[in-house]
Amino acid sequence: MRRVAALLLTVFAIVAALPQHSYAQSDMAMVRVMHASPDAPAVDVYVNGDAALTNAPFFALSDSLSVPAGTYRI
């Protein structure tokens, strides 16, 4: 069940990081993460190997994180 929770969290983070339709280009992206698996314990979220969020409890929604636009490993 933990693998399913991790997969769902990863998919959500990737979808949240996809570019939105915009008329102005920006060098920054806004990303939010939500822990939505009731069976999983608190989670840590890593971006390119660095901790972005730690010990996020179930149903926690992060603030908007501003990151340089680009491709990331989450």
Q: Domain for residue 42, yes or no? A: yes
* pLDDT score, position 24: 56
Tell me the residue range of the domain where 50 lies. Answer: 2-68
Q: Tell me, what's the pLDDT at 30?
A: 86
Give a yes or no: residue 46 inside a domain. yes
Residue 49, pLDDT score: 92
In a domain, 39, yes or no: yes
Instruction: Tell me the per-residue pLDDT of 4-49, one tens digit each, with 9 for 90 and over.
Output: 777 677 767 776 766 665 555 678 888 888 889 888 899 998 888 9
The count of domains in the chain is 1
What is the model's pLDDT at position 42? 92
Report DSSP state, residue 58: T
* pLDDT at site 22: 56
In-domain check, residue 74: no
Of residues 11 and 66, more confidence is placed in: 66
| 51 in a structural domain | yes
Quick one: which of 58, 53, 57 has its CA closest to 36? 58
E strands, the chain, where?
A: 28-31, 43-47, 50-56, 65-68
Q: Determine, yes or no, domain membership for 73.
A: no
Cβ–Cβ under 8 Å, residues 67 and 43: no
